[in-house]
Structure 1
Amino acid sequence: MNKKFALSLGLFLTAITTCFGIEIPRPEYPRPQFERVDWMNLNGTWSYEFDFSKSGIERSLFTNEGFGKTILVPFCPESPLSGVNHKDFIDAMWYQRKLSIPEAWAGKRILLNFGGVDYKSTIYINGQQAFVHYGGSSSFSVDITSYVTPGSTDNLVVYVEDDLRSGLQTSGKQSHRLHSYSCLYTRVTGIWQTVWLEAVSKGGLKSCSITPDLDNKQFVFEPVFYDLDQESSLKIRILDNGKEVFSQTTPAGNSSFIIGKLKNIKTWSPESPFLYDIEFSVLNSKGQTIDKVNSYAGMRKAELRGKTFYLNNKPYYQRLVLDQGYYPDGQWTAPDDTQLRRDIELGKEAGFNGARLHQKVFEPRYFYWADKLGYLTWGESASWGVNWTDPVAARNMISEWEECIHRDYNAPSLIAWSPLNETWMEDMDGQRARLTNDLYFMTKRIDRTRPVITVSGGYHAGFTDIYAEHTYVQDPVLLYKQLAPNKEGYPYVFRPDQSAPYKGEAYMVDEFGGIQWIKEMKLPEVNDQKEFWGYGEPPKTLEEFYKRLEEQVNVILSLDHITGFCYTQIVDVELEKNGIYTYDRNKKFDRSRIYKIFTKSREQAKKEVKKMLSERDIPKEKSK
């Protein structure tokens, strides 16, 4: 794309948004569980320059006050919505825009927040380096108070490095080849989530963990402050549909634990996703509010008892769908907030009670809608791309994953953590087991309230709370033979020679199905239809698709040792045409029929499997 056209396209996009009364893309507050009034969205038209030779530092591009091309933030340059649509590798690039800090923010701490920048980002204010961050999935905040002057205009430059093929960084499903192939898709470079400014009192609230304690009918709050004033205090209010049900004011302190006791509790679940509103107010010695944060919380309990998953002290069967969070026009970035909500609604309409968020750390707005609508989620890192034997790669992944856990800890919909997906490397020197165990124990230290699926599928190593396997066997009888416990009572393990032994953990099949079905071609992802794929031979008719799907789901529901499933997948993604919906979120199947399959009772599934096995002369002693 030439310079003149890129500039024109960027100006055109800005003009269009202004014309329709939308000044910037993704204008909503990006962090719904920690929301302030004094903030400024920085999405919109920025200038940029690619730096393929990585010579920009030597050329002092960090002092540049306007590059020759424009990009629409927060969309990555690989996406059509960015106005750039560059599909080749981008090892480095520069962003620039002006900052106009309101004069009213004088005397406050001024924070520059980034929802997500892939991968290494260096922040410059007026030519001075202010911050360096590693991690393409984790959010970060830069205190720029000492670099800017309220009431004046300052220059922001962001330098991004994204060496996808280095093996030192997480990349998720981004393709390591020029083009997309198999289950690896279009790359994501640079800024891909909202950038915003906010003004905070010097003694304001930095964060607050909220832990629901269902059995004791209380929330446990753990606040962290910026600069503590000996005479400041924190007031916490809990509201039920606007009615105050708890209020307490306590001296501000980073060692405080505030117990929000409730008389009559309302629980959160997919069937009844009730949320309490939370208000945090930091007060000075005169009782005046110097910082206010709005939040919310759900009273729910997610745990394992033996081999069974419990939600709110009742056995709960997880019927999940794989969601990779890709969009044809935005790649990792949803074009607007309504699309995030719609993705969850599509999952619920298909009969799923949640999603395994796959090889991508989803943005906080997605969790907000999952919380509001009632939709279970598994949080997973973008772990693919990491070279296990390299200590720098391990360090990068551990620190990034830690930031992700802290950021999303408060989401009631998030009921499990899964740091790794399908690890395949043979453990020749113990590094795979070491990193796996480091991730497991770190996750448990930060969050003891949720189960951890250390490795989903592939080669298992070390400790895990749920033993999760993948299978794409298409024939239901063969699938039954594979998944039914063996003579010793042990479940299927893909590679026992490369995996830690099964020790009686809860067991899930968290990838199966993946049945290809192409309804129609609307999106020009590739020119050759033969490149599209799904698992197994595609069904010849729509009726054959329904039959295969139902029989596979029946098999998994019928086996008592399986505590939940995850079907692949919610929408088609680029070459992969095995979604319940098309890539552009349109209908592929009879929704009521799909819904009945995925919501079928386990008792009914057992009857149908028993009948199937008898008709095909399969021994029935394994059938539960």
Structure 2
Amino acid sequence: MSEATPSIPRPEYPRPQMVRTEWLNLNGEWEFEIDYGNSGKQRHLYEALSLKDQILVPFCPESKLSGVESKDFMSAVWYRKEIEIPANWNGKRILLHFGAVDYEAEIWVNGQSAGTHRGGYSSFSLDITHLLGAGVNVLTVCAEDDVRSGLQPRGKQSARFYSHGCDYTRTTGIWQTVWLEAVPQQYIQAFKLTPDADNGVLHVEGDLIGADGLTFAVEAQYRGKTVGSGSAVVTGKQARLSVKLSENHLWEIGSPNLYDLKLTLESHGKSIDAVDSYFGLRSVKWDNNAILINGKPVFQRLVLDQGFYPDGIYTAPTDEALRNDIELSLSLGFNGARLHEKVFEARFLYWADRLGYIVWGEHANWGLDITTAQSLQPFLPEWIEIVKRDYNSPALVGWCPFNETWDGPTGARQNNDVLKITYQVTKALDPTRPVIDTSGNFHVITDIFDVHDYEQNPEKFAGNYEAMRHGGERFVTFSNRQKYEGQPYFVSEYGGIWWNPGQSDQKSWGYGDRPKTEEEFLARYEGLTLALLENPHICAFCYTQLYDVEQEVNGLLTYERKHKFDPEVIRRINATTAAIEKTFANNIKA
């Protein structure tokens, strides 16, 4: 069982699609020190007997919950914690896991380097067995971060001292759970689950350590009943098998049927390692007009979710807060979200899987100069880690590695090969989902054509898409830079209606002019939204945004997640049957 207790923050198991029983949550109080001059390595801080301050992990030092709440730029930060390995873990491998560390991390165990990792949004692990000693062991972490360099993805973290516009408080260092796990010498390192809903099959690819010649076995259950099993001999580090399911229960929006899964590594019938998981049986396809889930066009009523919290910044204060954001969105009539300019933690996807809530995965590309192919070096390895980590989620229905790839400050254009290569790599890793190369602009190669349109006048907004209603030319922003080529059409950002009664406009930000009354806001929201729902050649929208973030006050909720409007009014508008769904229903009847 885990050593996690309610007395430490975020005590829940951090990797819900691959669960083992022997783990130790390292969240809580760590020694901490800000290294403004980034000189700590030269000063051998990894050998220090103590650091100057303290911090509450997994909250970043900029946040209130961390106990530090330092908002200035930090070139590097240091963490130190003394740990003891449980006695019953003797003889096992000890893995050290980090949910995310922003940006470039090096980890020491007892003063010896255990490894490094680059990327502020992807999870990583280190085998530290050989560095551990008896009794007390010391973990030290250094995280270097420079959001102003142009050499790393920063997302919506402000490159100025203050937050401004749609950029907000920065996150430096550890911002997701840190934990230890005990595994056998031969163990299951990872696995890839590909559901085949049309044939009622689950394809499984296992990544095994030290297991050549052993047996990799899988058993699927639905509500406690075994509905499929299979096994394969491990060749090298790999094992592949397909499990035919005796019962097919589809994972659908609002009806998230999930199967339980047991994966074991066996030798002569004896279990050496075992993990628990789950999967959803569903398909995602796309044609000229629609994105189909389980063969049916479902209008994706999405909302922009940026994953910020008033007290935790990038880190939700509790697991319940992650679930609550999804439930609030569902209560407003949305069926999913664009997870925007941030890679959300695995437990958010877990709740999306459990609640039948679709999401698009996106990297935090803002801040990275992509005018040269050199940007692939910091971007692509982390993106590969992200795609691999989240591949198994049934709620995830599409990938979007880049968002609004504007040209550089000197006028240098985006390097189209950066988008093309990233698209190709993503499709090689995951051919089962659509990929948008860059949301909004400037498209190079994309499965879905999307635009961002913040026109605030409902009549003008509807006029942009009027020709499309009758099968005419698609509305294309930046027509000199991108071209519509027959893909499904998605208005992936719209609205952003500024509404901040009782707040100073000088300290707030939103799109266009602010409505004068709540009635004017709701009329605008309805006009903009129905223009998209009633168009038979639009398959999805994404409203900006679910909740306010700091000075950006165009959320349907406040930053504290309080409703600004009667949720039933918003829900009624969003629940309007979309033209694309009406057309499908009529064709079925005919």
| TM-score band w.r.t. shorter chain | over 0.9
Secondary structure, aligned partner of 1:80: coil
Report SS of the residue matched to 1:332: coil
Q: How does 1:193-342 map to 2 (within 5 A)?
A: 193-230=176-213, 232-253=214-235, 254-285=237-268, 287-342=269-324
Structure 2: gaps spanning 5 or more residues? 583-590
Partner residue of 1:525? none
Post-superposition offset of 1:282: 1.3
Report the secondary structure of 1:552's partner residue: helix
Alignment correspondent of 2:400? 418
Q: Deviation at 1:99?
A: 2.1
Letter in 2 for 1:181: H
In 1: Cα distance, 2:216 partner to 2:238 partner? 13
Residue of structure 1 equivalent to 2:462? 480
- Secondary structure in structure 1 of the residue aligned to 2:533: helix
CA distance in 2, matches of 1:345, 1:435: 36
* Structure 1 residue 126 corresponds to structure 2 residue 110: yes
Query: Larger deviation: 596-605 or 583-592?
Result: 596-605
Indicate which of 122, 127, 135 corresponds to 1:138.
122
CA distance, structure 2, for counterparts of residue 603 and residue 84 of structure 1: 51
Q: d(CA) in 1 for partners of 2:381 and 2:369?
A: 15
1:521-541 CA deviation, whole Å, 9 max, x = no partner? 6xxxxxx55221221111111
1:41 & 1:298 partners in 2: Cα distance?
28
**2:204 counterpart letter in structure 1:** F
Instruction: Please state how far the C-alpha of 1:197 moved relative to its aligned partner.
Output: 0.3
SS of 2:114's equivalent? Answer: strand
The alignment status of 1:378 with 2:360, answered yes or no, reads yes
- 1:7-61 alpha-carbon deviations (Å, 9 max, x no partner): xxxxxxxxxxx9x972210000000000110100000000111111111111110
Q: TM-score, normalised by structure 1?
A: 0.90
Aligned to 2:94: 110
Are residues 1:542 and 2:524 paired? no
- Alpha-carbon offset, residue 79 of structure 1: 0.3
Q: Distance in 1 between matches of 2:372 and 2:132?
A: 39
Q: CA deviation at 1:174?
A: 0.4
Distance, in Å, in 2 between the alignment partners of 1:307 and 1:429 is: 34
Decide whether the 8 Å contact of 1:210 with 1:222 is kept in 2: yes
1:162-190 CA-to-partner distances (Å, cap 9, x unmatched) read: 01100010000000000000000000000
> Which deviates further from its counterpart, 197-206 or 98-107?
98-107
- Cα contact 2:375–2:418 (8 A) shared by 1: no
Deviation at 1:237, TM superposition (A): 0.9
Separation in 2, partners of 1:603, 1:239: 38
SS for the counterpart of 1:485 is helix
Residues 1:567 and 2:543 are matched in the alignment = yes
Q: In structure 1, what is the Cα distance between the partners aligned to 2:41 and 2:530? A: 59
The answer as to whether partners of 1:33 and 1:296 remain within 8 angstroms in 2 is yes
* CA deviation profile, 1:311-342 (whole Å, cap 9, x unmatched): 00111110000000000000010000000000
The one-letter code matched in structure 2 to 1:550 is E
Q: Which amino acid in 1 is paired with 2:338? A: R
Contact 1:48–1:71 (Cα < 8 Å) also in 2: yes
Q: Distance in 1 between matches of 2:210 and 2:135?
A: 26
Q: Is the 8 A contact 1:167 1:393 kept in 2?
A: no
Letter in 2 for 1:36: R
1 CA distance for matches of 2:326 and 2:132?
40
Partner Cα separation in structure 1 for residue 33 and residue 523 of structure 2: 52
Selected match of 2:16 from 29, 32, 39: 32
Change (3 A) 1:549 1:384: same
Letter in 2 for 1:482: N
Measured after TM superposition, the shift of residue 506 of structure 1 is: 1.0
- Separation in 1 of the partners of 2:579 and 2:249? 30
Distance in structure 2 (CA, Å) of the matches to 1:35 and 1:81: 27
- 2:248 aligned partner, one-letter code: I
> Identity of counterpart residues, as a percentage?
46
Give the match for residue 489 of structure 1. Answer: 472
Correspondence 1:156 to 2:139: yes
Equivalenced residues, count = 577
Pairwise CA distance, 1:502 = 1.2
- Matched with 2:426 is 443
In structure 2, the partner of 1:191 is: 174
Match of 1:587 among 555, 563, 566: 563
Q: Which position in structure 2 is the counterpart of 1:81?
A: 65
TM-score, structure 2 as length reference: 0.95
Shift in Å, 1:215: 0.8
SS at match of 2:467: coil
Q: Secondary structure at the match of 1:597?
A: helix
The equivalent residue for 1:453 is: 436
Deviations 1:61-95 (A, max 9, x none): 01113212000000000000000000111111111
Output the CA distance in 2 between the equivalents of 1:546 and 1:603. Answer: 21
In the alignment, the residues of structure 1 paired with residue 311 and residue 554 of structure 2 have an alpha-carbon distance, to the nearest angstrom, of 19
Q: Is the 8 A contact 2:78 2:142 kept in 1?
A: yes
8 A contact 1:570–1:580 mirrored in 2: yes
Tell me the C-alpha RMSD between the 2 structures: 2.0
Q: What is residue 598 of structure 1 aligned with on the other side? A: 574
Q: Deviations over 1:493-537 (max 9, x none)?
A: 1111122x211111110000011112556xxxxxx5522122111
Give the aligned residue type for 2:398: A
